[in-house]
């Protein structure tokens, strides 16, 4: 394989070459060049060989109309939704390929959408990319070359994060790059150079022109890298977090009496790192203590944060709604925030009743809640950590024991609404709801009783009640 500036193309690039050889030949026959760009090139030098189902990003000097003609008859499917921005999407042999005309995206000062300008130079195209480690290209076709005009490989080897142009220019082109920097700092273990950090500190308010949806998606990508905390520290230290998640830097001001060696922010980021890389679980870990600043109080015993989980759940709902998360995602995360202290309310042992209520309240989030609860312990006190882990083990054992005895994952009244109405001779109304609430409490308190016993208990309850209907 060929070289450019002495850069040897890795053998693992053969998978990319094989996947695109027919397409590259078609572009070459039409008088155009085709390049692999972005993370696919970067990862040739720092990751394992890509699998056959990995999507590929390509760029070309052909304009979209020419690209459309070139792929006609070759691709299994073509979609043109991105054509106005220079992108033609194709599907070939189960693989997605996006082909984008060389371009430069830039924001007007008052715009949320980029202006697109097409070009014919790969070097100029790479100059408008976010970071030098992503500003490399693999030229396809008869002559294979690595194009690296901005020393991306040197930066990758040195563990350095820089922008191809001055960072002020790069971040003006697309302010979301300031948040994307956090992902590369954390995910690739890169250290931002001083000019990049200074630019983010000076320009973070520019993030305000970026849509909430793009910020939401970039935050999600940051949260699922192996260890997000270096990137999260970056957004806090530069002031960027204040533009999209101001509740996060606010935690740095609060001293937590439980985790005395850390402020709440440091504790929070440690919890995020400990949880498995699952987007909503990590987001719940990030937000689980955001109610503490609003609930801080001082008393004889020191600082307290009573009901911070309830306040925090409301704050999490507001913030996630502002970032345009789906209702399902909002409900999941706010429920985990609301319940994250529930485990600690059962300090005297796990009775069957307590276990049933815990499982019922967690519902389908039980596994995530247990994970969050375990990871919420970041104490350096080995004895305290061991004791908490043993209590958590005890709870999970009790859940499995009751699961074997009862339908623990589907706790509900032993009679449904129709059966209650028939048995008590009621029409639909509030008394039916009250009766079902009674039966549910009975089920939680005593476990399965059987329908006959449930009817007997219901009769006794109804006889002692003062119905609200005649």
The residue out of 155, 181, 210 marking a domain boundary is 155
Note whether residue 111 is domain-resident: yes
Q: Which of 155, 186, 212 is the last residue of a domain?
A: 155
Quote the pLDDT of residue 389: 83
| Residue 58's CATH number | 3.30.460.10
Q: What is the mean pLDDT of each run of 10 residues along the chain (470 residues)?
A: 54 83 94 92 74 74 94 92 91 90 67 70 93 95 90 95 96 95 97 98 96 97 97 98 96 58 82 97 96 79 77 96 97 96 75 81 90 87 82 84 64 77 83 80 75 81 68
285 within 8 A of 224, measured Cβ to Cβ = no
Instruction: Give the other-Cβ count within 10 Å of 235's Cβ.
Output: 26
Domain ends where: 155, 189, 204? Answer: 155
Q: Sort 275 into a burial class: Cβ within 10 Å, 0-12 / 13-18 / 19+.
A: buried
Instruction: Name the domain count of the chain.
Output: 2
DSSP of 335-403, one letter per residue? HHHHHTTGGGG-TT---HHHHHHHHHHHGGGHHHHHHHHHHT---S-HHHHHHHHHHHHHHHHHHHHHH
426 in a structural domain: yes
Range of the domain at 68: 3-155
Q: What are phi and psi of 210, to 5 degrees?
A: -85, 140
DSSP string, 10-75: PGGGHHHHHHHHHHHHHHHHTT--EEEETHHHHHHTTSPPPPTT--EEEEESS-HHHHHHHHTTT-
Determine the distance from the C-alpha atom of residue 192 to the mean position of all C-alpha atoms in its chain, rounded to a whole number: 22
Q: What's the whole-model pTM score?
A: 0.81
In a domain? residue 12: yes
Quote the CA–CA distance of 88 and 23 in Å, as a whole number.
Answer: 13
- Residue at 203 is within a domain: no
CA–CA separation, 392 and 395 (whole Å): 5
Q: Which residues contact 397 (CB under 8 A, 6 or more apart)?
A: none
Please count the CA atoms within 13 angstroms of the CA of 112 that sit on its side-chain side: 8
The answer to whether 429 and 469 are in contact (CB under 8 A) is: yes
């Amino acid at each position: 394989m060929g070289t450019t500036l002495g850069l040897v193309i890795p053998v693992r690039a053969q998978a990319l070459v094989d996947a695109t050889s027919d397409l590259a030949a078609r572009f070459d026959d039409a008088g155009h060049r085709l390049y692999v760009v972005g993370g696919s090139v970067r990862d040739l030098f720092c990751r394992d060989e890509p699998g056959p189902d990995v999507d590929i990003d390509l760029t070309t000097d052909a304009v979209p109309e020419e690209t459309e003609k070139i792929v006609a008859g070759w691709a299994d499917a073509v979609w043109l939704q991105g054509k106005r921005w220079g992108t033609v999407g194709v599907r070939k042999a189960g693989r997605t390929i996006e082909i984008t005309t060389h371009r430069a995206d830039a924001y007007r000062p008052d715009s949320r959408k980029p202006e697109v300008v097409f070009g014919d130079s790969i070097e100029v195209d790479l100059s408008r990319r976010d970071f030098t480690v992503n500003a490399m290209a693999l030229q396809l076709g008869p002559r294979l070359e690595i194009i690296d005009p901005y020393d991306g490989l040197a930066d990758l080897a040195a563990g350095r994060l820089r922008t191809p142009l001055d960072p002020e220019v790069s971040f003006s082109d697309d302010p979301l790059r300031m948040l994307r920097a956090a992902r590369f700092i954390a995910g690739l273990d890169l250290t931002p150079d001083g000019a990049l950090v200074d630019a983010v500190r000076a320009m973070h308010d520019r993030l305000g022109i970026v849509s909430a949806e793009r910020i939401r998606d970039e935050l999600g990508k940051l949260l699922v890298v192996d260890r997000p905390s270096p990137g999260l520290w970056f957004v806090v230290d530069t002031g960027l977090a204040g533009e999209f998640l101001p509740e996060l830097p606010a935690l740095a001001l609060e001293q937590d009496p439980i985790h005395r060696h850390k402020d709440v922010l440091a504790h929070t980021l440690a919890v995020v790192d400990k949880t498995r890389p699952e987007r909503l679980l990590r987001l719940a870990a990030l937000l689980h203590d955001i109610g503490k600043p609003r609930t801080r109080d001082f008393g004889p015993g020191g600082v307290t944060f009573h009901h911070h989980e309830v306040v925090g759940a409301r704050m999490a709902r507001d913030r996630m709604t502002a970032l345009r998360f789906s209702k399902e995602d909002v409900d999941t995360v706010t429920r985990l925030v609301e319940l994250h202290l529930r485990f600690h309310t059962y300090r005297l042992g796990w009775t069957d009743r307590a276990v049933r209520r815990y499982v019922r309240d967690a519902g389908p989030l039980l596994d995530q809640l247990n994970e969050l609860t375990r990871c919420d312990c970041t104490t350096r006190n080995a004895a305290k950590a061991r004791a908490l882990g043993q209590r958590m083990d005890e709870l999970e054992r009790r859940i499995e024991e009751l699961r074997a005895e009862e339908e623990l994952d589907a706790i509900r009244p032993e009679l449904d609404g129709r059966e209650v109405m028939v048995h008590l001779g009621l029409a639909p109304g509030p008394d039916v709801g009250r009766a079902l609430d009674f039966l549910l409490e009975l089920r939680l308190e005593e476990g399965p009783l059987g329908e006959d016993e449930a009817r007997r208990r219901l009769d006794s309850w109804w006889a002692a009640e003062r119905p609200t209907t005649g």
